[in-house]
């Protein structure tokens, strides 16, 4: 049993909805990406909760990079966070790995919905190694925000996957795994991030 993680909270305590967000495999909970979504969503009255998995929290104290914890520990950490909030008012999700693990525990916890910020459908360059089994039976409403040229799952690939009807895809034009478009694109990273926030609000208010 791991210790319950420390929480970083933005937004009002009495917010109608709480959104818990976990970081990706290689970056902490306070990256510019995570800061943007936490701060922007809190401006709209949501309570946004961030936390770190044990390996990332340990990195803060030791300064040494470690690989992510094994799947059972990642899931256990999520369950510890979920247990601190009313599930009927809770959305869970996060960046890449954090969102994937959230989507994997969502059905067990009867939460309001899952929000994935760049889902790792497969490792880059290995489209045959799909990570969609649970998404084929998912009953929890799930929003996946994905860059159209994300190497972990491009639009032309993902639209062919047999995902459950509860899984909603929102495509961010020319975005990579962090929603960043190419320099030559008509879009900017800021525009894609802002569009993602709007999509999350629409998903919650549906």
Q: What is the pLDDT of residues 41-59, one digit of tens each?
A: 999 999 999 999 999 999 9
Other CB atoms within a 10 A radius of the CB of residue 129 amount to 9
Gap between the Cα atoms of 86 and 92, Å rounded: 12
The whole-number pLDDT of residue 1 equals 57
Report pLDDT for 3: 80
Q: What percent of the chain has pLDDT over 70?
A: 99
pLDDT digits (tens, 9 = 90+) for 55-72: 999 999 999 999 999 999
Enumerate domains of the chain plus CATH numbers: 8-204 (3.40.50.1820)
Q: Residues 99-117: pLDDT tens digits? A: 999 999 999 999 999 999 9
Q: 136 near 163, Cβ under 8 Å?
A: yes
Q: Where residue 166 falls among pLDDT bands split at 50, 70, 90?
A: very high
The model's pLDDT over 127-164, given as tens digits with 9 standing for 90+, comes to: 999 999 999 999 999 999 999 999 999 999 999 999 99
Prediction pTM value: 0.96
Q: Could you give the C-alpha distances from 126 to 91, 109, 116, 120, in angstroms and in order? A: 30, 31, 20, 11
Cβ-Cβ contacts under 8 Å for 176 (sequence gap 6 or more): 147, 149, 150, 151
Which residues have a Cβ under 8 Å from the Cβ of 169 and sit 6 or more positions away? 144, 146, 158, 159, 163
What average pLDDT does the structure give for the chain?
97
């Amino acid at each position: 049993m791991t210790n319950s993680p420390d929480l970083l909270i933005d937004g009002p305590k009495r917010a109608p909805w709480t959104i818990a967000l976990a970081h990706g495999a290689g970056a902490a909970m306070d990256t510019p990406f995570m800061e943007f979504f936490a701060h922007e969503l809190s401006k709209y009255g949501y309570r946004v909760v961030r936390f770190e998995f044990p390996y990332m929290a340990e990195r803060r104290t030791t300064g040494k990079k470690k690989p992510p914890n094994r799947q059972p520990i990642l899931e256990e950490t999520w369950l510890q966070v979920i247990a601190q909030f009313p599930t009927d008012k809770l959305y869970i999700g996060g960046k890449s790995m954090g969102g994937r693990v959230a989507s994997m525990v969502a059905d067990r916890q009867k939460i309001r919905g899952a929000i994935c910020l760049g889902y790792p459908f497969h490792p880059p360059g290995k489209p045959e190694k799909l990570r969609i089994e649970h998404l084929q039976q998912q009953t929890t409403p799930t929003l996946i925000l994905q860059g159209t040229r994300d190497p972990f799952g491009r639009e032309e690939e993902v639209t062919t996957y047999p995902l459950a009807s509860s899984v909603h895809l929102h495509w961010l034009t020319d975005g990579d795994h962090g929603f960043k478009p190419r320099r030559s694109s008509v879009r900017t990273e800021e525009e894609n991030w802002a569009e993602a926030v709007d999509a999350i609000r629409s998903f919650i208010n549906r």
